[in-house]
Amino acid sequence: MLAARFHVETCFVHMAKNIPTTLPGTPPPEAAQTLLALLHAQGEVARLSEREQLFSSLLGSVNAVLWAFDWETRQVLYVSPAYERIFGRPASLVLADYNEWRDSIYPDDLEFAERSLAQVLLKGSVEDREYRILNADGQVRWLSDKCYINQQRDGDRVIIVGIAEDITEKKQLEGELQRLATTDVLTQSSNRRHFFECAQQAFDSAREDGTPLAFLLLDIDDFKRINDSYGHQEGDQVLQRIADSGKAVLRRGDLFGRIGGEEFAAVFPGCNAQVAEQIAERLQRHIQRLSFSHGEHSYGVTVSQGVTALSDEDTTLDSLYARADAAMYRAKRQGKNQIVRG
């Protein structure tokens, strides 16, 4: 392209040398006017080419898909270069068939993605669309896909334009922050604040629906002696193994968390006291089978548990918690390694 442009410019220079000069105040000859027009046109073409190259460069660097969609014909009219990078598929496929985009949407998000797209016809714009896609490699990607009605309509033709930004890293960061805010770092179970938030929700639902609910408190027997005898690193291992036991024994939908130093709690939605006590017994046996070693010494651990169930008199979660706490301390006083119902 540069060689061709140089050739044209050389020709222009050659033409200019052969144009006769004119006296001041007289119009330039026809050849000169033609040359000036050609030079102006060449400059305009060069500027257009530069702007096109700049526009293409900008589109290629944006980590978002600019798109245009004909609502009536269900045809994708345009996608920017980022489509191939984010979706991992050739743009020609989606331009030929809109279902290429639709079929890439994560199945659980498809209904929301289609419903929110249709809302743009009523609202003029929709800016809170976030959904997942599966790219060509099977990776899950999150999109923030804002869309608008094109204001320059061609008759009754409805054109929707939008920008689909890849926000996968942002979502991963949000998920990690949420995990850190709700999880006990050592045991990877719910921390105290998150546990009681979830327990309160379960309590409110049980009260509203008139369904059973049970509450359990668990405390490791003689935990201070383990720390004093074998060190805090060994004590941390015991806490982790107890938490693993809780996750292994409790049912799907049960809540389990570490609410204090060596104290854990559980909530059993839909369970009366008898069923909750059976779960506690399974947990007790599972913990009794755990074996720990420190150097040449091997040892086991036991726990004391207090269990109680929701009654008509319980108007707050605190009353359940207090009753389970009192039952657990009775288990301690009665010899430890046992379950007491409160």
Q: Which residues contact 226 (CB under 8 A, 6 or more apart)?
A: 220, 234, 235, 238, 299, 301
- Structure-block tokens of residue 146: 């804002």
**Would the CA dihedral through 86, 74, 114, 154 be positive or negative?**
positive
DSSP state string for 33-101: HHHHHHHHHHHHHHHHHHHHHHHHHHHHH-SEEEEEEETTTTEEEEE-THHHHHH-S-HHHHHH-THHH
Question: Is 50 an annotated catalytic residue?
Answer: no
Cβ neighbours of 88 (radius 10 Å)? 16
DSSP 316: S
Tell me which H or E stretch contains 341: strand 339-341
Instruction: State the pTM of this model.
Output: 0.62
Query: What's phi and psi for 156, nearest 5 deg?
Result: -95, 10
Q: How far apart are CA 72 and CA 69, in angstroms?
A: 9
Taking CA atoms, 269 is separated from 215, 251, 283, 285, 293, in Å, by 9, 10, 17, 22, 36
> CB count, 10 Å around CB of 315?
9
pLDDT given at position 157: 82
Query: Residue 74: left if φ>0, alpha if ψ -120 to 50, beta else—which one?
Result: left
pLDDT for 52 equals: 52
Q: Are strands 303-309 and 339-341 parallel, antiparallel or unpaired?
A: parallel
Cβ within 8 Å of residue 286, ≥6 positions away? 245, 248, 249
DSSP 174-234: HHHHHHHHHB-TTT-SB-HHHHHHHHHHHHHHHHHHT--EEEEEEEETTHHHHHHHH-HHH
Round the average pLDDT of the chain to a whole number and report it: 85
Q: Tell me the average confidence (pLDDT) per consecutive run of 10 residues in the chain, 342 residues long.
A: 44 45 52 55 57 55 83 92 93 95 95 94 91 95 92 71 92 88 92 95 95 97 92 94 94 94 96 94 95 89 96 94 96 95 92
Half-sphere exposure of 164 (CA within 13 A, CB side): 27
Check residue 10 and give its pLDDT. 46
Residue 128: predicted pLDDT: 87
CA atoms within 13 A on the CB side of 282: 12
**Residue 24: predicted pLDDT:** 53
Number of Cβ within a 10 Å radius of residue 248:
10
Q: How far apart are CA 12 and CA 99, in angstroms?
A: 53
Q: Among 100, 165, 262, 277, which one carries the catalytic annotation?
A: 262
pLDDT 10s digits, 185-212: 999 999 999 999 999 999 999 999 999 9
Task: Give the separation between CA 216 and CA 341, rounded to whole angstroms.
Answer: 9
The pLDDT of residue 16 is 42
For residue 338, the 8-state DSSP code is -
Tokens found for residue 172:
């991963």
CA pseudo-torsion sign 179, 183, 248, 209:
negative
Q: Is 159 helix (H, G, I), strand (E, B) or coil?
A: strand
pLDDT at 2: 42
